[in-house]
Amino acid sequence: MKVKSKLIDEPGFNRIITRIAHEILEQNKGSKNLVLMGMRTRGEFLAKRLFLKIKEIEKIELPIGVLDVTLYRDDFRTRLKQPEVSVSDITFNINDKDIILADDVLYTGRTVRSALNAIMDLGRPSTIQLFVLIDRGHRELPIRADYVGKNIPTSVDEEIKVKMTEIDSEDAIYLIDTKED
């Protein structure tokens, strides 16, 4: 495990959030019907950042929730380690809303698939729009993101490490080599 390169630093991180917030508002013609939903763990903080940015731009506080998709995963029978579950925290009605679903890295698309199922069990939103900080390719399902921070083509031996000050020491994104040498 070694760091190959730092892809994004703190100012870059902030610029992405600013741009995405504007893109979301432009795409949805304002913020009227929007709700934010972050996927544990880092998606939760990304949603919070978007919340603050949109508040700054539009002077409005959007409903914000946290989604835990562990119970909807498709790898219970194949994984060796039992995943830890935690609680979803969505206190508002999502029917007929436009949901902005936030996650840090889009890879195989399986987590997003679980999230879609989890959301459908909570209600029937008007649209679900996906925001990811990094799209690293290698999709296994027909899933795409609506808002992408940065496209980083990777190999399967590489890993993307997103750090956020809410739980890490800095805002940054690293490309990591997982190959043993």
Task: List contacts with other proteins (CB under 8 A).
Answer: 68, 70-72, 76-77, 79-89, 117, 121-123
Q: Minimum distance from CB of 121 to other proteins (Å)? A: 4
Q: Which is nearer to other proteins, 52 or 141 (CB)?
A: 141
Q: Which is nearer to other proteins, 29 or 77 (CB)?
A: 77
Q: Minimum distance from CB of 130 to other proteins (Å)? A: 21
What is the identity of the amino acid at 29?
A: K
Q: How far apart are CA 37 and CA 128, in angstroms?
A: 10
Q: How far apart are CA 63 and CA 154, in angstroms?
A: 34
Q: Which is nearer to other proteins, 30 or 83 (CB)?
A: 83
Contact status, residue 173 vs residue 163, Cβ threshold 8 Å: yes
Kind plus residue range of the DSSP H or E element containing 48: helix 42-58
Q: Minimum distance from CB of 120 to other proteins (Å)? A: 8
